[in-house]
Amino acid sequence: MMHASVHHNSNKDRNMKRYSILIAITLLVGSIAMGQNQSSIIQPVIEINGHAEKKVTPNEIYINVYLLERYDGKTKITIEDQQLQLLKLLKQKGLNTDVITLSGGNASYVKIPWKTKKDVLASANYEVLVATADEAAKVFEAADEMDLSSCNISRVDHSKREELEKEVRINAMKNAAEKADYMLEAVGSKRGATVYASETSRAYPVYYESNIRGARADAQYMSLDSVKTRGPEFEVSFQKIELAIDVFVKFEIKE
């Protein structure tokens, strides 16, 4: 009778161990499954568009000046002569010729009849860089006084464009964050970490007009040929350069 009792208790112990192992496995599997479910939960986000812009006055004005060799009686006025005359006139008008750049010589040759012979006249395009509309007007004045055939504004820019764009970009991100803050505050939530951001920059074209001796024309196509004897005033004006940044940002939502 004693031997039978010991055998019965041994079976009971084995059954208890199996039961305990089964419970442990169940708990482990449940814990793993719960962890997987938690990791698969998507963090709620808010998607916001931000915007900022800034207008700046151009301080780099590029003016194309077309020089063509010509004759004054029998004397040929060369490109070099005209270049020196242009610099002299600009200096007389108060411009600092040390900081004026003459570039893009691009010499070419034009054949024209001259006293039944073929004469070859050189031409060249020069780019004059000035900083203000007043200085640009003085370049046009000099070109008119020299009786040049063509003088026009090719482009405008700002010397600190990169710094200005950085400032606008930062303000666009701040604008997105501010929007997210007040929208989430309205529903009792808060803005969390930034999980995504992209931006699109825009630099709108700059339009400018010139009024040379009373004849207003688009500066890009302006010629001096037909406006040399009208009115005494030169006027050059510009729209400001408009830098605009749009951003798309995703923020986490904190309850």
Q: For residue 156, list its beta bridge partners.
A: 61
What percentage of residues in the chain have a pLDDT greater than 70? Answer: 61
pLDDT of amino acid 180: 96
Residues 35 and 66 occupy one common structural domain: no
Express each pLDDT in 101-130 by its tens digit: 766 655 555 555 555 556 667 888 888 889
Confidence check: pLDDT of 70 > 50: yes
Residues 189 and 251 occupy one common structural domain: yes
CA distances from 214 to 93, 161, 203, 217, 239 (A): 20, 33, 31, 10, 20
Residues 180 and 149 occupy one common structural domain: no
Residues 226 and 183 occupy one common structural domain: yes
Express each pLDDT in 157-199 by its tens digit: 999 999 999 999 999 999 999 999 999 999 999 999 999 999 8
Determine the average pLDDT of the residues in 232-254. 82
Strands 70-72 and 215-218: unpaired
Residues 15 and 47 occupy one common structural domain: no
Residues 112 and 176 occupy one common structural domain: no
Domains held by the chain: number: 3
Residues 94 and 106 occupy one common structural domain: yes
pLDDT of amino acid 76: 85
Angle subtended by helix axes 79-92 and 133-145, to nearest 10: 130
Q: Residue 147 and residue 142: Cα distance in Å, rounded?
A: 9
pLDDT of amino acid 216: 35
Ranges 13-22, 26-35, 65-74, 80-89, most confident: 80-89
Confidence check: pLDDT of 242 > 80: yes
Determine the average pLDDT of the residues in 129-135. 88
Confidence check: pLDDT of 145 > 60: yes
Does residue 245 or residue 231 have the better pLDDT? 245
Express each pLDDT in 20-53 by its tens digit: 655 555 555 555 555 555 555 688 999 999 999 9
Residues 180 and 148 occupy one common structural domain: no
Domain that holds residue 239: 43-58+159-255
Determine the average pLDDT of the residues in 95-102. 76
pLDDT of amino acid 134: 87
Q: Is the pTM higher than 0.75?
A: no
Confidence check: pLDDT of 75 > 80: yes
Residues 91 and 152 occupy one common structural domain: yes
CATH number of the domain encompassing residue 231 = 3.30.110.170
At residue 152 the predicted structure's pLDDT band, cuts being 50, 70 and 90, is confident
Residues 153 and 77 occupy one common structural domain: yes
**CA-based torsion, 75, 78, 80, 83: positive or negative:** positive
Residues 254 and 163 occupy one common structural domain: yes
